[in-house]
Amino acid sequence: METIKNNFQYLLIIFASILLSACTSLHWGNIKNDTHNAIKVKLTFSNEHGTRFLETSVKPNSSEIWEYDQSSLVSTKIDKNLVEFEATNSEGCIITFNREAIVEQAKNHKQQIIVKSQDFIDVCGATESINYK
């Protein structure tokens, strides 16, 4: 009887593991450049395996995406490993969003971080020059 009980517990653990792993799915994060100039973006991801960086450029009034795995139970949240977002405009002004600011942005925009001209004006104090290339 004890053997049956141990085997049942073992099978229950295996079943639960399979069920939980099946609940992960692919999600897409989106960076939207809502300015008139290209921006350089640096995303910092951190987890138990270390810290990674993703750097890219985003053209004016366009978007870039990245893919990540996350439990389907938290599909309304941005990538849990994304800890910092940094954007640099053509004048060298840098804006940085920490994890709390990223979550707030994504909450309002469905897994999307939107960079606006006003963000650079708020941080660097100068109006953004418009480059119509």
Domain contains 3:
no
Exposure string for 6-16, b = 16+ CB within 10 A, e = fewer? eeeeeeeeeee
CATH of the domain at 52: 2.60.40
For 51-72, give the DSSP string: EEEEEEEE-TTEEEEEEEEEEG
Q: Calculate the CA 29 to chain-centre distance.
A: 5
- Sites in the chain below the pLDDT cut of 50: 128-133
- pLDDT in the model for residue 39: 96
Could you give the CA distance from residue 128 to residue 122 in angstroms, rounded to a whole number?
11
pTM of the model: 0.69
Domain contains 19:
no
- pLDDT in the model for residue 57: 94
Q: Which residue has the tokens 């909450």?
A: 107
Domain contains 16:
no
**What's the total number of domains in the chain?**
1
SS3 1: coil
